[in-house]
Structure 1
Amino acid sequence: MSALNTLSNGQKAQLRNAFTLIDGESRDSSITKADLISLYKTLELKVPDDDSLKEMLTIDGEYKETGVNFTQFSNIMAKELQKYDDRMTIYNALKVFLIDSHNHELVIDVEVLKEACCSVQLGELGSGDNRLSRQAFDQLVEGFVKEQIDGTKLFTASKWLDAYID
């Protein structure tokens, strides 16, 4: 399914408005480097360097020197919104195991999370034992677990999300 198909009509309308604003005075139906520079200046923000501006106008590894049209812009934004939704889904699932939340940092007892993650059957029923192994789980959380004085091991899930989920 195309990322664009995941957007509501309201979101599509907001993207159209955003595109029109960024296109600016040129009204040439494409967002160019000049449009981006003008936008940053209008918002009184520091204009990114040339490489960063070119990166904003790069799609699938190809720099769009003549600009990005509305369809391309919409697809880029839909993919970015989809990443946000995926991240929020994982964040909300991890909140079920929450021990402590300070400044949106999720802290979870790693053994409780491991038990839950490694006991769930993945895949179709009858397709064999497809549970996540404890060894694979340990590798997935490596570097994000800290042992407390009492021996409890805590998983800093919010830092893990930042590292692995764009």
Structure 2
Amino acid sequence: MLALNTLSNNQKQQLRNAFTLIDGESRDSIITKTDLINLYQQLGLPVPLDDQLNGMLKNSEGINFAQFLQTMAEELLVFEDRNTIYNALKLFAEEADYNRVSEELIIDVDRLKDACCSVQLGEIGSGDHRLTRQTFDELVKGFVLEQTDGKKLFLTGKWLDAYID
């Protein structure tokens, strides 16, 4: 329910319009597999496999507007979380290291580590609750590209895909 509270009235109305569009000609207030197939065909897109369609419908015969609204609100929260983290990480990418085509941020790992490991995570006066350098290294393991000059780069997009989506 928390996700629904984050939607504005305008967003709810836009989602109502989208629901009506997807519901299609049946106008039965339920999005069914047939509705999804018709939508993909009308858009000229390849129709997903049966198991993918079932996944969209959460393996039920169909979803009503309340279920659709809840699902979309949850998806929008993930999108917001991703954008927030992306924008925070963007602060560590120098202008020259920002690939505008792919929007991939290229960040010096040591610079990011210094910043992340210097922030106090607990309440003031509750002891030292900083992220250790060893824990940081574990969290970014597999998402670091070491260059020939010894510089290590954090692969932001891959990390976000793995942890946020």
TM range (shorter): over 0.9
| Divergent runs of 4+, >4 A | none
Which residue of structure 2 lines up, in the alignment, with residue 153 of structure 1?
152
Alpha-carbon contact 1:106-1:156 (below 8 Å) kept: yes
Which residue of structure 2 lines up, in the alignment, with residue 129 of structure 1?
128
How many angstroms does 1:44 deviate by?
A: 1.5
Alpha-carbon contact 1:108-1:154 (below 8 Å) kept: yes
> What is the alpha-carbon distance in structure 1 between the residues aligned to residue 38 and residue 164 of structure 2?
32
How many angstroms does 1:129 deviate by?
A: 1.2
Which residue of structure 2 lines up, in the alignment, with residue 117 of structure 1?
116
RMSD: 1.1
Which residue of structure 1 lines up, in the alignment, with residue 60 of structure 2?
64
> What is the alpha-carbon distance in structure 1 between the residues aligned to residue 54 and residue 114 of structure 2?
46
SS at match of 1:97: coil
Alpha-carbon contact 1:57-1:68 (below 8 Å) kept: yes
> What is the alpha-carbon distance in structure 2 between the residues aligned to residue 146 and residue 24 of structure 1?
47
Residue 27 in structure 1 maps to residue 27 in structure 2? yes
Q: Mean Cα displacement is larger for which, 43-52 or 110-119?
A: 43-52
SS at match of 1:154: strand
Which of these residues, 95, 98, 121, is aligned with residue 101 of structure 1? Answer: 98
> What is the alpha-carbon distance in structure 1 between the residues aligned to residue 156 and residue 39 of structure 2?
36
Q: Which amino acid aligns with 1:147?
A: E
**Count of aligned positions:** 161
What is the 5 A alignment of 1:44-83? 44-58=44-58, 63-65=59-61, 67-83=62-78
Q: What percent of counterpart residues are identical? A: 68
SS at match of 2:34: helix
Which residue of structure 2 lines up, in the alignment, with residue 139 of structure 1?
138
Which residue of structure 1 lines up, in the alignment, with residue 2 of structure 2?
2
Task: Provide TM-score, normalisation by structure 1.
Answer: 0.93
How many angstroms does 1:47 deviate by?
A: 1.1
Which residue of structure 1 lines up, in the alignment, with residue 80 of structure 2?
85
Alpha-carbon contact 1:141-1:160 (below 8 Å) kept: yes
How many angstroms does 1:49 deviate by?
A: 1.4
Alpha-carbon contact 1:97-1:108 (below 8 Å) kept: yes
How many angstroms does 1:74 deviate by?
A: 0.3
Map Cα deviations across residues 36-71 of structure 1 (whole Å, 9 max, x no partner). 11111111211111111111100xxxx221x10000
SS at match of 1:98: coil
Q: Mean Cα displacement is larger for which, 147-156 or 14-23?
A: 147-156
Alpha-carbon contact 1:107-1:158 (below 8 Å) kept: no
